[in-house]
Structure 1
Amino acid sequence: MNRDALPTATAKPPTATARPATPDDAESIIRMRSAYVLSTPLSEEWIRRCTDELAPRLTEAGDARAFVVTAPDGSMAACALGLIHPVLPAPAYPRGLAARVHVVATRPEERRRGYARAVVSMLLDHLSQVEHVTLFELHTSIEAAPLYRELGFAGSPALMRMTRLDEPATARTSPPSGPDWMPPEQYAATLPKSTAFACMYFTDEDNRPLQLHSVYSPSHPWQLVGGTMELGERPWETAVRECREETGLTVSGPPRLLATVFGLPGAQWPYSTLGMVFDGGRLTTAQIRDIALNPQEHDEVRILPLAEWKAPMPARDFARLTTLEKARRTGEAAYFGTWDWGDE
């Protein structure tokens, strides 16, 4: 997706009209994708191969649809490419057709003129009104996401979705001036998705935090006891189960919430993350000695004074640990809202 499709209130209106793309536009679209979408530009061999692949798909019998803006010098100024694919029918997509907005690109010198909005709008209108596509997906940058939200998409930039039902206006039950009602399944498809986790915060009897060394996550080497919630579980149930699986310890409660943790999606994970960290209590020397690690997840138990945890941990991880220590010490539950998935 294009990183430059930013909405702006001061954008100049397009000086050219978007038009449907033809097979003759395939090479220009591929070159736009290579130059302005991909992190590594394509070689000439790959440009040729991709052009040969795309050209026949831009015909009426193909599964690709695109709209382009041509600059005064005849070159391509902007383009939007969508790929149609079948899905199992559902109330939100009764014809079983979906489309992925695969490429949106504008040449740098032609930006801030509304071209991206023009080509994307015409592509979406054509796909929904002519091809009867009702489910749309795309991924984009954080900077460009506001444009797609204005066009009806919802979710995180890593995965934005939209449904457009081609039902007649007479079938609507809400007043024209009021909000449109959507069936629960359709509405749910427009909402941002998240995964959830639950953890225990343990210390020894001297209030030194205990953490486990991960064998699978070099970006987060030292971890709390806990993990991802399973279907049907409540957060406390997850924390107790994960504690038992990872350490052999059984925590009986009652639950005492130390912090709620939230993170936005990023390069490594397409969903937001929401977690709860409970106070596992202070472990005795005997309890710590009896910890039995799952070798597929962790290979070391370590206990350090809080300040000494700073060196072996990423800054964000240490900030969360510091927040938990303060919550335990003050008795006030904390909110840690910057547990974002970065580009690590």
Structure 2
Amino acid sequence: MITVRAAVPADAPELVRLREVMLASMQSGTIATGSSTDWKAPTEAILRASLAGDDATRPVFGVFVVDDEERPGRLAACAVGTLEQRLPAPGHPDGLFGFVFNICTDPDRRRRGYAKACTQALLAWFDGKGATRLDLHASPFGQDLYRGLGFTEYSIALSRTTLR
């Protein structure tokens, strides 16, 4: 049986480590801008504050993890998402949208159902918050998982990145 739990502030360094694993697998080992470490400290600080409930100016994060039972103090997998307040629209009377953006399993812990279990916990969290739409950008590794959980393709996504 897989035990999923809500993350706590002390998990922040491991969540940063898993985010780096995810980014490396998605971007062939490179980070799009800046040095390979300039994002780590702010990411850890944001996660710690959010998970402690200390920073009301930050988005509301849902973070669910599976502990690595063979390596105490390490996480085997995580799923992270944010709840966003947008303007209400037909079908979205409260304007609460979710965005799933960080699902990762340590490479040597994959194919055990950890990512699916974490993602299901995250989806239940979104449901409990009243989110009426969830979006994500899927890597080739995760497409089957997300489709199996009810996600479908709906449009072409465009983005604009401002380089610093």
TM class, shorter-length: 0.7 to 0.9
> In 1, distance between residues paired with 2:6 and 2:143?
24
> In 2, distance between residues paired with 1:112 and 1:86?
34
CA 59–93 in structure 1, closer or farther in 2 if over 3 Å, else same: farther
CA deviation map 1:259-288 (0-9, x unaligned): xxxxxxxxxxx48xxxxxxxxxxxxxxxxx
**Structure-2 residue corresponding to 1:106:** 105
Return the match for 1:70 from 67, 71, 80: 67
RMSD of equivalent CA atoms: 2.0
CA 59–127 in structure 1, closer or farther in 2 if over 3 Å, else same: farther
Q: Does 1:193 align with 2:152?
A: no
Whether the 8 Å contact between 2:82 and 2:99 is mirrored in structure 1 is yes
Q: Does 1:35 align with 2:33?
A: no
| Structure (1 or 2) with the larger CA radius of gyration | 1
> In 1, distance between residues paired with 2:132 and 2:52?
21
User: Which of the two has greater strand per residue?
Assistant: 1
**Structure-2 residue corresponding to 1:133:** 131
The runs of at least 4 consecutive aligned structure 1 residues that moved more than 3 Å come to 41-45, 59-62
Whether the 8 Å contact between 1:16 and 1:70 is mirrored in structure 2 is no
> In 2, distance between residues paired with 1:52 and 1:37?
18
Describe how 1:320-331 pairs up with structure 2 within 5 A. Answer: none
Q: Which has the higher contact order (CA 8 A, sep 6+)?
A: 2
User: Which of the two has greater helix per residue?
Assistant: 2
Describe how 1:110-129 pairs up with structure 2 within 5 A. Answer: 110-129=109-128
Whether the 8 Å contact between 2:66 and 2:77 is mirrored in structure 1 is yes
> In 2, distance between residues paired with 1:90 and 1:59?
32
Whether the 8 Å contact between 1:27 and 1:48 is mirrored in structure 2 is no
CA deviation map 1:46-78 (0-9, x unaligned): 312210122112234561110000011221000
Please, which runs of 5 or more residues in structure 1 have no aligned partner?
Answer: 1-14, 156-191, 195-269, 272-344
Q: State the identity %.
A: 35
Please, which runs of 5 or more residues in structure 2 have no aligned partner?
Answer: 159-164
Describe how 1:170-189 pairs up with structure 2 within 5 A. Answer: none
The letter of the residue matching 1:132 is: G
> In 2, distance between residues paired with 1:47 and 1:17?
27
Whether the 8 Å contact between 2:92 and 2:132 is mirrored in structure 1 is yes
